[in-house]
Amino acid sequence: MNGEAGESATERLSADGPSRTRVALLGSGDLSRELVTALQRLGAEVIALDRYADGALHGVVDRSVVVDLSDNDELAAAIRWLQPKFVVVASEVVATEALAAAADTGVTQLVPGIPGARLAADPEGMRRLASEELGLPTAPFWFVGSLEELREVAQRAGYPMSVKPVDGSLGEGRSVMVRDSDIEPAWQRAVAASATASSPRVLAETVVEVDSEVTLLAVHRDGPQGPALDFCAPIGHRSIEEPNGQLTVEFWQPHSMSPVALDAAKSIAARVARALGGRGLFGVELLVYGDEVYFAGVNLRPYDATLLTLRTQRLSGFELQARGILGLATDSIMISPGAARLIYSRRRVGTAVESDGQSEPDRLAVVADALSVTESDVVMFAHHEGHPRRRLGLALATGPDVTVARDRAAQVATVLGKLWP
């Protein structure tokens, strides 16, 4: 463990008043920048812990500590040294035994709680919790670990059936099987997109008819009368695979839902959030068909969808998460309909980038052109390490209604696309 010499985190008075509330952020990815800023604005001291000496947030946080988050002894020692009031898990590779030991002291609170921290990197466990323990409505599903197991499931359950990697993301590696000859290609496609090189797991689901895919952001906090939940307006989303292999994910808020479906969605989100425990922000993924709502998953760091709320809500999802962590009052007031298009890279790390011999586009000129669209904004991403699908840029737009906002965001994304031809 490396870092600056630490002072005691015990609350005490100084010449300038009480010391700041200390928050340890486990992970220093670029998308946590907005959360760090929101916590600091509310008076918190934020310390980033990560295995990198030059993480993306190290110039933003108050202090940084280099530590192997996957090592129980090393992480536990760092938490004991820092004695933070809150530990926020912002990485999927975290030693949960160290977190449990920290929580047992009664000095530190975890965000999310231990169940959420353990299931953050376990989509299979999360789905089983929702279906088998909470009894939430889901499409019939099976987890399989081999091609033969997938064949057995298909023969037993029938077609059509959706297949995707358990630990995949962004819809990559997904196939729909409609006949026996689709089984092997679907398996190979899912395995190729899996984040686990050895012993890949695949999720097979009966295809259910749906109108839309929705993310419902829920903020869990401690209120005057006990735990409280606040919900943001639903966010619709879809993935767009470009002809050149680039991936774009579109988001819009609010997504139109019937009152019955919205009540069902909130009920599902509330049960999931309470089961996972802790404070902060949960992104509950849902499939909607008319008044019917199915649970599809939960994201404990739903920052892709949350980026849209930077322009659509009085308090963005990051600000709501910060308030939820600190136990402060929240509101989820939406101030404008909006839409976003998040652009991802099309090549996996290590593959060569072909050059067409043309000069690099003028980045500032392209951004200026994108911002000429009415009520638009952009976010350009930097990267600390490679990833099979890296975030490149975000096109944001608001408007008098969702239709106009989506059209404007599409225009902005088209202009930004000139940077990654």
Residue of 1, 24, 26 lying closest to 77 (CA atoms):
1
The per-residue pLDDT for 196 is 64
Percent of the chain with pLDDT over 70: 88
Pairing of strands 22-26, 45-50: parallel
The per-residue pLDDT for 354 is 47
pLDDT 10s digits, 106-148: 888 888 878 887 777 778 888 888 898 999 999 899 999 999 9
pLDDT 10s digits, 189-244: 888 877 665 678 899 999 988 999 999 999 987 766 667 789 999 999 998 877 77
The per-residue pLDDT for 284 is 93
The per-residue pLDDT for 135 is 92
Least confident of 149-163, 172-186, 234-248, 405-419: 234-248
**How much is the average pLDDT of 92-103?**
86
How far apart CA 37 and CA 39 sit, in angstroms, is 5
Q: Which residues pair with 339 in a beta bridge?
A: 252, 397
The per-residue pLDDT for 223 is 65
Question: Is the bond preceding 160 in cis, omega lying within 30 degrees of 0?
Answer: yes
The per-residue pLDDT for 16 is 53
pLDDT higher than 80, residue 413:
yes
pLDDT 10s digits, 154-170: 999 999 999 988 876 66
pLDDT higher than 70, residue 325:
yes
**How much is the average pLDDT of 76-81?**
93
**How much is the average pLDDT of 378-385?**
76
To the nearest 10°, report the CA torsion of 110, 112, 118, 124.
Answer: 180
Assign 349 a pLDDT band (cuts: 50, 70, 90): very low
Assign 15 a pLDDT band (cuts: 50, 70, 90): very low
**How much is the average pLDDT of 167-180?**
81
Q: Which residues pair with 284 in a beta bridge?
A: 216, 298
- Relative orientation angle of helices 183-193 and 147-157, to the nearest 10 degrees: 130
pLDDT higher than 80, residue 346:
no
The per-residue pLDDT for 151 is 95
pLDDT higher than 50, residue 13:
no
Whether 413 and 341 have beta carbons less than 8 Å apart is answered as yes
Which residue intervals of 249-377 are DSSP H helices?
A: 259-276, 303-306, 309-312, 317-326, 363-370
Least confident of 129-138, 140-149, 355-364, 377-386: 355-364
pLDDT higher than 90, residue 56:
no
Residue of 373, 386, 387 lying closest to 341 (CA atoms):
373
The per-residue pLDDT for 46 is 96
The per-residue pLDDT for 358 is 62
Assign 402 a pLDDT band (cuts: 50, 70, 90): very high
Residue 10 buriedness (CB in 10 A; 0-12 / 13-18 / 19+): exposed
Least confident of 52-61, 153-162, 261-270: 52-61
Which structural domains are found in the chain, ordered by start?
Answer: 22-111 (3.40.50.20), 140-206 (3.30.1490.20), 212-349+359-419 (3.30.470.20)
**How much is the average pLDDT of 269-290?**
88
Assign 9 a pLDDT band (cuts: 50, 70, 90): very low
Q: What is the overall mean pLDDT for the chain?
A: 86
Assign 8 a pLDDT band (cuts: 50, 70, 90): very low
